[in-house]
Amino acid sequence: MKIAICTKKDLAACLALNRLLDGLAGRHDVFVVLSDYVLEAEKADGHAARLVAHERDMVLDHVFPFLDGLYPDGSSAACATYAGLQARYGVSMELWGPMRLPQARDAMRDIAPDVIISCRYDYIFQEDVLALPRLGTYGLHPGALPALQGLCSPFRAMQRGDRRSGCTLFHLDSGLDTGPVVEIGWADITYDRSVLWNFVQTYFAGIDTLMRHLPTLEQSRRLPARAQDPARRQYFTYPTEEEFREFARRGGHLVLPGDYLELLSWFLPDGLRDARFPALEKLVSSVAH
């Protein structure tokens, strides 16, 4: 199959892309479409700014350049940067603007994918793009639909005290997280870990669910799905400063240094025991806010 993966440039998306390419590259012809958009709400207060700094700014501006300098031809690490993934799998990656732009839509038509997978992608797909793949356009939403539509769903699950965080594999439509659901992959929430850590585990659960359904797509069949119950839908905006503060008052953490360094260690061949880990740790300490 020809598969277009649409994702963004940040840490959680890169880790998710590693998991996706591990299951798809080599078996199928994969093209990766990247986005790089930051909501105003993501830098509206100190808590939000700290989260996006660790998710995106520190990684793109400092950590990935450091790693790419160490491993210009890729490495044997469990995970790779965007440049490392291109070296490892030989996949094409391009940074596009909003999918509504004519040039983006024309580019997707030129790819002519059999399947589109949207995982942590910034932009809404228009009807003509949704209709392009013969086997469907699928989203991986890091929340259990329809109860957790919208932004930062793993935070919402932790805010509610849920036992599990769900990542929903669903057919994308032109709405916001409203398409028919294929299946929800579940990850147990670890409350002594950070929101960022649980975010990544949630995506992994959804990707593992997609891989279980891959044989159906490989048989040239669309994935069966069920319509969402509109009565159960609840849409959440990005958390407010007060919601972040209340979460912290109750003992929650958006980012924890140990979690963060462990996630980054996956990009080193020997992980936390790698000889270059102290240099990575020093770099993170020097740029952390």
- DSSP code, position 238: S
pLDDT at 44: 87
Question: Which sign does the torsion angle of CA 158, 197, 184, 129 carry?
Answer: positive
What angle in degrees, to the nearest 10, is found between the helix axes of 11-24 and 195-218? Answer: 30
pLDDT tops 80 at residue 289: no
pTM (predicted TM-score): 0.97
Percent of the chain with pLDDT over 90: 96
**Tokens for 126?**
């228009």
Taking the C-alpha atoms of residue 109 and residue 81, their distance in angstroms, rounded to an integer, is 27
Measured distance between the N- and C-terminal CA atoms of the chain, rounded to whole angstroms: 44
For residue 265, the model assigns a pLDDT of 98
Which pLDDT score, from 0 to 100, does residue 43 have?
86
pLDDT exceeds 80 at position 285: yes
Are β-strands 2-8 and 29-35 bridged in parallel, bridged antiparallel, or unpaired? parallel
Chain length of the chain? 289
pLDDT of residue 153: 97
Mean pLDDT over 176-191 rounds to 97
pLDDT at 108 over 90: yes
d(CA 169, CA 117): 10
Residue-level pLDDT at 276: 98
CATH, domain range 2-287:
3.40.50.170
pLDDT tens, residue by residue, 45-102: 999 999 999 999 999 999 999 999 999 999 999 999 999 999 999 999 999 999 999 9
3-state secondary structure of 236: strand
- How do the domains of the chain map onto residue ranges? 2-287
**Average of per-residue pLDDT across 9-37:** 97
